[in-house]
């Protein structure tokens, strides 16, 4: 089970940020790094991650300062603009065991390119 209370520097997205393992970059600025999901669930499936160490959305909402939060959210909008997702998209962040989080570094899934299916599978 993943630990989302203590940040683990060895998680795969920390390694991607340090360029220790490759990724297909879509966008980068001072606050975020965005790259293609290795196992896409839609024609567009991008992961947007902060460049600071937050385990999950929970951790981020408690610890990130206001400036970082704003810039993080604005960065997602910049990516949406850059990819011209004019027909819409879905943003998902999974938290912990019940949320189905596999990687303990905050990430938003940005899904688009077709009408995304049911919000929750049973
Ligand atoms: P989650 O279940 O919300 O933690 O999502 C983790 C996501 O990371 C999954 O959609 C995986 O396909 C994706 N993933 C895992 N390893 C990599 C990798 N090396 N490069 C890109 N995406 C990855």
Name the DSSP letter for residue 11.
Answer: S
Q: Report, in this order, helix, strand and coil percent for the chain, each rounded to 5.
A: 30, 20, 50
pLDDT band at 2 (very low <50, low <70, confident <90, very high): confident
Ligand 1 pocket residue status of 11, Cβ below 6 Å: no
Ligand 1 pocket residue status of 100, Cβ below 6 Å: yes
Name the DSSP letter for residue 53.
Answer: -
Mean pLDDT, to the nearest integer, of 94-121? 95
Between CA 68 and CA 51 the distance in angstroms is: 10
Between CA 34 and CA 116 the distance in angstroms is: 20
Residue nearest ligand 1's atom 18 by CA? 38
Q: Kindly calculate the radius of gyration of the chain based on its CA atoms and give it in whole angstroms.
A: 14
pTM of the model: 0.97
pLDDT tens per residue across span 28-70: 999 999 999 999 999 999 999 999 999 999 999 999 999 999 9
Q: Which residues pair with 90 in a beta bridge?
A: 111
Report the pLDDT value the prediction gives residue 45, as an integer from 0 to 100: 98
Q: Which two tokens stand for residue 41?
A: 């669930």
């Amino acid at each position: 089970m993943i630990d989302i209370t203590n940040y683990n520097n060895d998680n795969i997205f920390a390694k991607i940020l340090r360029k220790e393992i490759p990724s297909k970059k879509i966008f980068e600025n001072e606050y975020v790094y965005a790259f293609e999901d290795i196992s896409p669930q839609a024609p567009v499936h991008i992961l947007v991650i902060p460049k600071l160490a937050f385990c999950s959305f929970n951790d981020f909402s408690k610890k990130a300062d206001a400036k970082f939060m704003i810039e993080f959210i604005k960065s997602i909008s910049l990516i949406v603009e850059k990819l011209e997702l004019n027909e819409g998209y879905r943003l998902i962040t999974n938290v912990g065991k019940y949320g189905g989080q596999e990687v303990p570094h905050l990430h938003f899934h940005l899904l688009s390119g077709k009408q995304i299916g049911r919000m929750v599978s049973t």
